[in-house]
Amino acid sequence: MGVLTDYFRAADAASVVQALEQTDGGSPLVGPECPVFDGVEAKRVDPAVILAKLIAAVQQIPWRVDLVEETTVWPASPAPGSDNLEDEDNPWVTGPWVSELHPLARDTLAAVGDSEVPTIVARWVQAEELRGTRVEDLQPLAEELILLARRAREAGEQLYCWMSL
């Protein structure tokens, strides 16, 4: 089972929560008002590892666990105690989950020049988690994420990640 991830931009967490409440937590890139937000489908590109490795490739620094800071905005209910983590009706267990990415992630991606993308992607595919992936396979995704970050920065919006199992 793979993790589905969508990255999107929105004005604030409140608008994200409102949209998710209307779709029962479904992807904000799919729905009756297709799409609710401007975004990119990025299957298996989680913020903490794979996206953070792209950010590390941009900054030419080693990856670290806190490179992309996130704030959870969905589920909107408070996180349960550890005694409720086996409950299949618990949205903290079953997802989906949405987090707001720290503006530094957005700004780092937005600052990438078009001519830098191939070199950055060549560094990114060296990540252990991407072993066997070719630059040609990931370059379009990297370009989409960079363009999304630019649009978010220009609009004064934040980047969000929707994840589901």
Please report, rounded to a whole number, the percentage of residues in the chain having pLDDT higher than 70: 87
What pLDDT score does 25 carry?
Answer: 81
Mean pLDDT of 150-159: 98
Domain architecture of the chain: domains with CATH = 4-164 (3.40.1760)
What pLDDT score does 90 carry?
Answer: 66
Looking at the predicted structure, is the pLDDT value of residue 83 above 70? no
Mean pLDDT of 57-84: 84
What pLDDT score does 84 carry?
Answer: 53
Mean pLDDT of 96-113: 97
Q: Which residue has the higher pLDDT, 79 or 49?
A: 49
Mean pLDDT of 110-136: 96
- Return mean pLDDT, the chain: 89
DSSP string covering the chain, please? -PPEEEEEEES-HHHHHHHHHHTTT--TTSSTTS-SS-EEE-TT--IIIIIHHHHHHHHTS---TTSS-EEEEES-SPPPPGGGTT-TT-HHHH--EEEEEPHHHHHHHHT--GGGHHHHHHHHTTSGGGTT--HHHHHHHHHHHHHHHHHHHHHT-EEEEEEE-
Looking at the predicted structure, is the pLDDT value of residue 85 above 60? no
What backbone phi and psi angles, to 5 degrees, belong to 25? Answer: 85, 5
Predicted confidence (pLDDT) per residue in 7-62, tens digit: 999 999 999 999 888 877 888 877 656 677 999 999 889 999 999 999 999 999 99
What pLDDT score does 152 carry?
Answer: 98
Looking at the predicted structure, is the pLDDT value of residue 1 above 60? no
Q: What is the pTM of this model?
A: 0.90
